[in-house]
Structure 1
């Protein structure tokens, strides 16, 4: 008997159709939802396995293809130099307004989904960590889990490389979970300190965890994968989501 279903839905935005991969537990009633934002490579094998593992814990997990206005539905970028170059190119080509519209489209769809309780969290890794944090400005998001989010400290997300994610942090009502790798070259110590200071100064509801790990240490492909820390980080995520989405 299956414990999960894996499907997809194509949702309309003003910039075309956005494919959203949906991982759902087989359960008797509605469950909380999590919008899971991927790395720059979109819905790769590791991302799908992470989504399935989370769904297996009792969450309706939606994984949007963040580059839907640039790539064909179902496009997955390879974990190589060409894939990295293309992912980074699109990260800075996509408009901030498009990132934000995508959040609203997915939240609206989840709110109307019969399998969703109406409680929704955002979660992401790398680029997705930044998108999860930014998604928290939507009133439909009640909890944020940002794992090694890139470009937050430098405020360089999107077209023009000038985002306001951190500048608006004092207006964010959702609680936050941050997880970092101390050896991550994409978010140096100074960058982490800048974000932490901003959170402290505005009295934000957040928790903060740093590990001796490189960037993308949750990805179960490649030399940076740390399976022991990945297990710890999944436990942190499940405990956090259980606290924030249960009521």
Structure 2
């Protein structure tokens, strides 16, 4: 596999970059859009794309903060970076973010070496956007890790017409129990939606190097994610 950068035309003018990771071998493969956390297209997100490429997928990570500032690439290792990340989180236009994710999906479906199937996976802010991607785009299968604020946009749930899997951290400091209950109630009746709860885990339990990283839970969630994509993107 190898990583490179491509440029995607925005539907409302302008363009943005995306990190692209391809699997080894020449057989047509499904594509997966990787939806960033609040730290931009950083080493963690590029690592997710490389992991998925290693599992046989064409992975593409769009720069969703480009309308605020292109090329954000920070970590979760300092207070200054956390302050900047929350500033970006507050400034991010989620409606335009969905437009950019859908533009990425359309490009991913037609990239050389792909088979036309496109999934999506997102983390944190990206987990929220993954839910919206499932509800508002033609993506074929979507996974969200510890999405924040899904309980505030459950009115979009009728738009979910393709499989969606959500990984929920039971002790998520950003998604309290009442929000988790609301999500379960709002989505539990949809047979296309699968919700996994990770007992005792806090937000970002799958972020390697993060304060709440838990390898056992991350490995379980990642295995479920790969099985899910294998079932729905094959």
For the aligned pair, the TM-score class normalised by the smaller chain equals over 0.9
- Is 1:196 the counterpart of 2:193? The answer is no
**Structure 2: tracts of 5 or more residues without a match:** none
Q: 1:209 aligns with which of 171, 188, 196?
A: 196
CA displacement at 1:183 relative to structure 2: 1.2
Normalization by structure 1: what TM-score?
0.88
1:162-218 per-position Cα deviation (integer Å, ceiling 9, x unaligned): xxx3211022102111111111110111111101101124x3411111112111111
Tell me how far 1:237 sits from its aligned partner.
0.5
User: 1:161 matched to which residue of 2?
Assistant: none
Q: Unaligned stretches of 5+ in structure 1? A: 156-164
Cα distance in structure 2, aligned partners of 1:63 and 1:179: 20
Distance 2:101 2:19 in 1: 14
Aligned counterpart, 2:222: 234
Match of 1:222 in 2: 210
CA distance in 2, matches of 1:68, 1:114: 25
Task: Give 1:59's aligned residue.
Answer: 57
- For 2:93 and 2:211, locate their aligned partners in 1 and report how far apart those are by CA, in whole Å: 32
Query: Which residue of structure 2 aligns with residue 159 of structure 1?
Result: none
Q: How far does residue 138 in structure 1 lie from its aligned partner after superposition?
A: 4.2
CA-based RMSD of the aligned residues comes to 1.6
Aligned residues: 231
SS class of match (1:105): helix
Q: Does 1:134 align with 2:132?
A: yes
Structure 1 SS opposite 2:212: coil
Task: State how far apart, in whole Å, the 2-side matches of 1:98 and 1:238 are.
Answer: 28
1:16 aligns with 2:25: no
2:115 paired residue among 106, 114, 117 = 117
Query: Which runs of structure 2 are paired with 1:135-150 in the superposition (5 Å)?
Result: 135-150=133-148
Give TM-score scaled by structure 2 length.
0.93
Q: Secondary structure at the match of 2:38?
A: coil
Say which SS state the counterpart of residue 166 (structure 1) adopts.
helix
Structure 1 equivalent of residue 73 of structure 2: 76
* Alpha carbons 2:33, 2:108 under 8 Å: kept: no
Aligned to 1:168: 156
Counterpart among 71, 83, 86 of residue 88 in structure 1: 86
In proportion to residue count, which structure has more helix? 2
* Contact 1:183/1:215 (8 A) holds in 2: yes
Q: What's the counterpart of residue 160 of structure 1?
A: none
> Which residue number corresponds to residue 170 of structure 2?
182
